[in-house]
Structure 1
């Protein structure tokens, strides 16, 4: 089993972009149709789970590529 060597700064930048994008979409009401403000609990959950799932996807991708070689 191969483990990817992620750049932690890249994960941080990607997480920040995703959370800020979702915050803007929530604030403008594009996600639900009514701009009721921000949901901080949702944004915290996304900020915590996004890097974990991104790493899992990179892990699967590294192992699929290594088995094909």
Structure 2
């Protein structure tokens, strides 16, 4: 089994981009019916779960692609 080894700063940057994008979309009203409002609980859940799921996807990709070649 191969483990991906990207730097932690890459996960932090990607997480920040995703959370900021979702925050802007919430604030403008694209994700909720209340423009100008933010849901901090939702953004906190995304900030915690996004790195975990992106690591799991990278783990699966590293193992699938390593076995294919």
Please report the TM-score for the alignment, with normalisation by the length of structure 2: 0.94
Structure 1: gaps spanning 5 or more residues? none
Alignment TM-score, normalising by the size of structure 1 = 0.94
CA-atom RMSD in angstroms: 1.0
Instruction: Figure out how many residues of one structure are paired with residues of the other and give that number.
Output: 69
**CA deviation after TM superposition for structure 1 residue 34, in Å:** 3.1
List alignment gaps of at least 5 residues for structure 2: none
The equivalent of 2:53 in structure 1 is 53
Give the corresponding residue for 1:64: 64
Matched, 1:19 2:25: no
